[in-house]
Structure 1
Amino acid sequence: MTNSIHEMIRASFKCEDMVKCVLGLKSLDIEAYKALLMHGPQTAEKLGEILNRERSTAYRSLQNLIACGIVYRETRSIESGGYYYEYVAIEPQEMKRMVKKNVDEWYNQMNELIEKMDDKVNALVTRLEDDEAKQK
């Protein structure tokens, strides 16, 4: 995975790399999301089995996916009493809309910062000119 936008532009990266970057996910998180899409709602324990990982590792990935909004959990009742959680992946098209929205928001924020650069550069130039004038 690349470490900067500059590297991403010049590298051969995949959709998964972009999603990981935009949503702040790890490779295992993407694997967990795909597994939920393929196998349907799962408990953390069952997802761990599918991913061939410990339940606690699957649970951490699920928490990452919930935090970014592409997975949610549903409470299921046990007939004999109690409950358990099943984790559900949102549809890929909805995830795509989320990623696009995040990219659009980031783009707008970066453009605003770029526009403010003129003021910062002008202030710096003025200060340098003032410093030069004082030295003469």
Structure 2
Amino acid sequence: MRNTARWAATLGLTATAVCGPLTGAAVAAPGAAPASLYAPSALVLTTGHGGDAATATPERAVTLGCAPTASGTHPAAAWACAELRGLDGGLDALKPAGDVLCTEGFDPVVVTVQGVWQGKRVSYERTFHNACARDAVGGGLFAF
């Protein structure tokens, strides 16, 4: 009988130690996310003149972090993060703004975005006809 009581006490304490931390998450307020658990979002954006990233003359590079808040060297970090959230990180979905008119002058500009967006690897490169075309598509994201 003493062995049974000892085993029951041991199993009870083990269950409390293992499952106790799990019950705390269930008690949290509905809809509240844990403050320390978020997927990382950290990117490096570059721009330069040329036909592709390998041959372009680099002009500028900035960092952009979006989780938990906008940060980095990007001059419009909050705007850029909001734009990325609207695209769900899908940079291929970037479209030119309908009200922007650009000249036809050919002066190719290339942008790259490398890093992680909400825990997923991002590698993006796009060449634009000129800086105006880049700005028309990138909005706040490429405004650096």
Q: Which has the higher contact order (CA 8 A, sep 6+)?
A: 2
| TM-score computed with the length of structure 1 as normaliser | 0.22
Larger Rg: 2
Greater strand share, 1 or 2? Answer: 2
